[in-house]
Amino acid sequence: MLSDIFVIAIFLTFLKHTKLFNPTYMKEKISTQHPKPLLSFLTFCFVLFVSVSFGQSSESLPAPVSQLTVNSNGDIYCEIHANDAASTLHHSMGKAKSGLMVNGSQKSASNSKKTATGATIFVDYYNADPNLPDEDFIIAATAFQSAVDTWASLLSSDVPIYVAAVFQPLVEGVLGSAGPTSIFANAPGLERNTWYGDALADKLTGEDLSPTTYDIVANFSTVFPNWYYGTDGNTPTGMYDFKSVVLHELGHGLGFFASLFVDNETGVGDYGFGIPNPVFPAIYDKLAYSSDGKSILKDNKYGNFTTELGDVLLSGPLTAKGPSTKSATQGKGAQVFTILDSNIFGEIPGLTDIWLPGSSYSHLDYVTYAGGPDGLMVPFLSTGVAFDTPGAIVLSIFDDMGWNGKVNREIQENPNDTTDDGDDPLAAAENVVALYPNPFTSSVNVTLLEGRSIKKAALTDASGYKYYIPKKSIDGKELAVLDLSGFSGKSGLYFLQITYNDGSSEVVKVYKQ
């Protein structure tokens, strides 16, 4: 409605300035044509209408938040919170780049630093503790920045990432909280009906979807006595490595979070943020496979809000699978944390053999990875442990969510396309789950529905020229790699026709760089 009023107002303004509303003027100029201003106006209205209509189809919500506490074993315990008191408290600090509301007053940024590496990350540091000396604040900010620099060197994005780092007194037992400020779905460049955190959504769409707000807000306690702020990895016994904790929390802020959940009283499993409407999974959820190798969310196999889904989620470690993750794990997939098994940890009431909200699935498996090089994103961090990088498995998951491989969708316009598929290259595909990189250079990875495999494939350009991809250049089944190094076609739009082993086929749009 507002968009209609806006268009009408501009139309009236146009009429006024072009004098077309003046009857006298019209009589005097009745034989004079004005094609250029009219054409310009109609073009403008069309662009405006398309922009407003498309903008109304994209959606956003307050993002889930990671909160850190100390458990009974003395380990840092990480939980993801959404739509509860912890997330509300975190978001109450605000998100505007002009300054956060901290402890009842607005604080301006203390410092901003650009990291000129794979991704540009700006950080505003807030000292919201009047009892924290400037020299101690600088030491803490330096450790935080070290973690930022690490992530910036490992990611790829043309859109800057904006982070707020807040240091303030928190209640006893709470060490901090962090997360994206918003999640986005159905913006151009994102996989359909899927939630993405700010920074990843910006990267995939190629624009800042929320330009006046921070992408990530991190909040840490200044009264917790056991932080080790060194960046050398030599964390003393009894101290928690602050840089490692920041690396972990920024990982959640950059997209390592899930919506999968089990009600421990009823055994009902569900997924999706935006309940009751719209119920979309997070992009991280879509990597989930059950212990018997079945994709959890494809084809709604287990049903949302069902005990069948709950049983699968409680059956033991799940795996996260995607092309990069399978490559990093010799085809096995990454083991994802779900429950603390009493067969391993013994009976611990209220902790073992149940779904741990916020920890289950939003972390790597504790038993598999704790103490090793891929242990950064497990749900518990012990004293004296330090990590310098996220680890190869975590980075492979980031790849499969879209950070470094342009996974999922890329915005491309085809003026000759008369279908109603918009900018989604896979809009008409029923068997292709993901296709990347798109645009491609020398190869294309194709993720298919379970049980599908490619018999043959061909590329066709707009003129009808067809390039048949040699069979030896088609590697894999459900996770196929098409070697296109022998294809010498020009940059532009192509149609990839995929024929499956049962003889059926379908076409998807791809673009060559």
pLDDT of 37 higher than 50: no
pLDDT 10s digits, 333-354: 999 998 888 888 888 888 888 8
Q: Is residue 252 within 8 Å of 245, Cβ to Cβ?
A: no
Query: What are the angstrom distances between the C-alpha of 121 and each of 74, 155, 162, 183?
Result: 32, 10, 6, 19
Lowest mean pLDDT among 27-31, 145-149, 287-291: 27-31
> What is the reported pLDDT for 4?
39
Query: What are the angstrom distances between the C-alpha of 490 and each of 310, 406, 481, 487?
Result: 50, 21, 21, 9
H or E stretch covering 85:
helix 85-91
> What is the reported pLDDT for 388?
94
Residue 37 carries which DSSP code? H
The predicted model gives 31-54 an average pLDDT of 36
> What is the reported pLDDT for 116?
56
Q: Tell me if residue 52 falls in helix, strand or coil.
A: helix
Q: Please give the Cα distance from 113 to 134 (Å, whole number).
A: 18
> What is the reported pLDDT for 304?
85
pLDDT of 256 higher than 80: yes
What is the pLDDT of the chain when averaged over all its residues? Answer: 77
Domain boundaries, the chain: 2-57, 59-256, 432-512
Q: Is residue 280 within 8 Å of 192, Cβ to Cβ?
A: no
pLDDT of 463 higher than 90: no
Q: Is residue 91 within 8 Å of 181, Cβ to Cβ?
A: yes
> What is the reported pLDDT for 343?
86
List 78's β-bridge partners, or say none: 68
**Buried (b) or exposed (e) across 179-195, using 16+ Cβ within 10 A?**
bbbbbbbbbbbbbeebb
- What fold characterizes domain 432-512? Immunoglobulin-like (2.60.40)
Q: Which one has a higher pLDDT value, 430 or 54?
A: 430
Beta strands in 283-410, from DSSP E residues, in sequence order = 288-289, 318-320, 334-336, 380-381
Q: Tell me if residue 99 falls in helix, strand or coil.
A: coil
> What is the reported pLDDT for 426?
55
Phi/psi at 174 (5° precision) = -100, 120
pLDDT 10s digits, 295-321: 888 756 788 889 999 999 998 778 999
The predicted model gives 94-120 an average pLDDT of 66
Name the one residue in this structure whose structure tokens are 């159905």. Answer: 186
> What is the reported pLDDT for 417?
35
Q: Please give the Cα distance from 430 to 263 (Å, whole number).
A: 32
Q: Is residue 436 within 8 Å of 445, Cβ to Cβ?
A: yes
Q: Tell me if residue 492 falls in helix, strand or coil.
A: strand
Q: Which residue type is seen at 221?
A: S
The radius of gyration of the chain from alpha carbons, rounded to an integer in Å, stands at: 26
Helix axes 35-57, 2-18, angle to 10 degrees: 170
Q: Please give the Cα distance from 172 to 180 (Å, whole number).
A: 24
> What is the reported pLDDT for 92?
63
Q: Which residue type is seen at 150?
A: T
Q: How confident is the model at residue 15 (pLDDT cuts 50, 70, 90)?
A: very low
Best-predicted range by mean pLDDT (56-65, 80-89, 239-248, 309-318): 239-248
pLDDT 10s digits, 122-142: 999 999 999 999 999 999 999
> What is the reported pLDDT for 474?
86
> What is the reported pLDDT for 407?
44
Q: What percentage of the chain exceeds 90 in pLDDT?
A: 32
pLDDT of 408 higher than 70: no
Lowest mean pLDDT among 7-11, 229-233, 428-432: 7-11
> What is the reported pLDDT for 411?
27
H or E stretch covering 16:
helix 2-18
pLDDT of 501 higher than 90: no
Alpha-helix runs per DSSP H in 306-389: 307-313, 323-328, 342-345, 366-369
Q: Please give the Cα distance from 298 to 392 (Å, whole number).
A: 26
C-alpha triplet 374, 312, 326: angle, nearest 5°: 35
Residue 500 carries which DSSP code? E
The predicted model gives 445-467 an average pLDDT of 82
